[in-house]
Amino acid sequence: VINLSADSMSGTIEFKRLGVNAFRDLLVFGLDLVKADVKQLDQAQADKLKSLIRANMPLTDKFDEQLEFKGVKVAAQGMDVSFDSFTYGLGFTGLKKDASARFNMGVTKPVIPAHLLPPGTEGTVPDAANFAVAVSNLNLEGVVTYMLDHADFTKPEPLTPQQSDELGKIVLPDGKMHIDFTDVYAKSAVYDVSLAGQMQVNPNNSDKPVVDVTIKAKDLDKTIKYLQDNAQKVPEFGQASFMVLMMKGFGKAEADGTTVWNVKLDEAGKVTINGQEMKI
């Protein structure tokens, strides 16, 4: 059993051009099926479902949800974890030819019982962390249109394996998944690291992504000193401090003391850091 609680919740949910009536009809249709305990649609129900989906296209021009929970507590099997705040967000541009979707999640001041952490690593828990990512260039309109034209919802498997494969080709017009890292960071008293950039991945050749990201670290010397000072407690910190020192040498120092790495990886596997090719 997991118990979740929060002192307060606030947030916003925004829709732009939501087809309320059509969406309501689709929701009622689904609830009626659940109420009647329908296991498999008949032809009339399948036709109605398709007509309701068509009426909802493109569902919305914009959906944006952002929620923040304050004073969050999680209790499970005698283990209590808490956060000053937990943020969660979703965004969606509708069932369009060039659709995008985003997701973000963040926490501040997590309190984790010491016995859940490896000895000596308590200082590595971030005071604040956030992860925000978006996926773009999705042909969701093409996917839905293909489903409506070819799927047989009266069958347990509405699409044949070949048709399912075709959906995968339609959703990614250029054959690649486009991922944007928009607001990724982790901060504590001993480190302050952020990342932003893009990545393209071919699902059929996922071991050869194309990457262009920029990593920034503030007060890197403080991080190195922390790792070195605690290397006797945590032997892995000694190895980590060596790696950070080596990475610092590849970084570009800015006037405010921030170290920056622009990391690029092409389909051929060539890696460059701040324009310098790395031999791997």
Q: Mind listing the pLDDT tens digit for each residue in 94-126? A: 999 999 999 999 999 999 988 888 888 888 999
- Of 146, 167, 158, 162, the residue nearest 43 (C-alpha): 158
* pLDDT band at 17; cut points 50, 70, 90: confident
Q: What is the pLDDT of residue 55?
A: 86
Average pLDDT in the chain: 92
Kindly tell me if the per-residue pLDDT of 176 is higher than 90: yes
Q: What is the pLDDT of residue 18?
A: 78
- Of 172, 90, 194, 94, the residue nearest 134 (C-alpha): 90
* The residue type at 270: K
pLDDT tens digits for range 217-254? 999 999 999 999 999 989 999 999 999 999 999 999 99
Question: Is the preceding peptide bond at 209 cis, omega within 30 degrees of 0?
Answer: no
* pLDDT band at 189; cut points 50, 70, 90: very high
* pLDDT band at 280; cut points 50, 70, 90: low
Kindly tell me if the per-residue pLDDT of 87 is higher than 70: yes
Q: What is the pLDDT of residue 157?
A: 93
